Amino acid sequence: MNRITTLFGIQYPIIQAGMVWCSGWRLAAAVSNAGGLGIIGAGSLHPDNLREHIRKCKAATDKPFAVNFPLFYPQLDEIMHIAVEEGVKIAFTSAGNPKTWTGWLKERGVTVVHVVSSAKFARKCEEAGVDAIVAEGFEAGGHNGREETTTFCLLPAVRQATTLPLIAAGGIATGEGILAARVLGAEGAQVGTRFALTHESSASQAFKDYCFGIGEGDTKLHLRKLSPVRLIKGGFMDAVSKAEDAGASAEELQALLGKGRAKKGIFEGDLEEGELEIGQIASIINHQQSAAEVMQDLVDGYHKALEKMQGGH
């Protein structure tokens, strides 16, 4: 029991990250049923689909779960209202200003967690009245902070800056990783990549299989002139990399990116034309499990790592 488990009413301080095209109701419910906090990622759901996913999640688990709202979502107002109507009790907000929605959500009884990539934004979260923060390092997959600060450096900086309950994210896929994050000041861990590659993730099998084969150096941060994203090597990343090396402008990169590429890559499994996103830690993940197996492994691994340290000096 710590501030994170108490805040969410969950058994283990392990949160499954909200991830586009991976984390629908099936994954979220499986994680929540296994004692963690499952999150439905609204970023890749149309408003009507979000309502459906929330309803299915409620039917599949009586445990707490959350919805993640990327604050650049076009119909943000609409999906916020849907979430409140459907009785969502925990909201993770990301990629925007925590002041915009925190008050509105808290007035409606929703617990608010905001994702930050710097100590400066952690302080803004405190001012905005959020209940907890996720500090996400450079190694994380997908959209990423401009500071490029790694989990190892970000956690102590954020821990110094605020007393808010702190969840670590970026590079965490094992029990050892959760313990290391705790040593660096976190009270809980958000795990993305490992859950993105479970049976319950809605990513295509081709995408999952591709991720099991990647090694270190196979993901890189790109599209800094737009909004930084960690991509996986492949046709689209090659094209982006080449364009960036040649000095492509933000407009040119936007044209290259086009629309619907993440769906094509992650959900439809087009490894050449699609935008493929995963965290660096995928390099140590090489087989598919269920979300419950992952949860068990994280909890067991954490306790084993802790015992090992307790045997040390």
- Residues lying near a copy of itself in the complex (CB under 8 A) are found at 118-120, 137-139, 145-154, 156-157, 160, 170-172, 174, 176-177, 179-185, 215-217, 220-221, 225, 245-248, 279-281, 283-284, 305-306, 309-310, 312-313
| Shortest separation between residue 22's beta carbon and a copy of itself, angstroms | 19
CA–CA separation, 301 and 280 (whole Å): 20
> Is the CB of 53 or the CB of 230 nearer to a copy of itself?
230
CA-CA distance, 104 to 286, in Å (whole number)?
Answer: 42
Least Cβ distance, residue 118 to a copy of itself (angstroms): 5
Nearer to a copy of itself, 48 or 238 (CB): 238
CB nearer to a copy of itself: give 228 or 274: 228
Backbone angles phi, psi at 14, to 5 degrees: -120, 120
Cβ at position 147, least distance to a copy of itself in Å: 3
Rounded to a whole number of angstroms, the minimum distance from the CB of residue 138 to a copy of itself is 6
Name which of 206 and 248 has its Cβ closer to a copy of itself: 248
Closer residue to a copy of itself, CB minimum distance, 176 or 297:
176
What gap in Å lies between CA 179 and CA 96, rounded to an integer? 29
155: tokens are: 């956690």
Q: Which is nearer to a copy of itself, 76 or 223 (CB)?
A: 223
Supply the minimum distance, in Å, between the C-beta of residue 152 and a copy of itself.
Answer: 4
CB of 240 to a copy of itself, least distance (A): 14
Q: Which distant-in-sequence residues (6+ apart) come within 8 Å of 103 by Cβ?
A: 128, 129
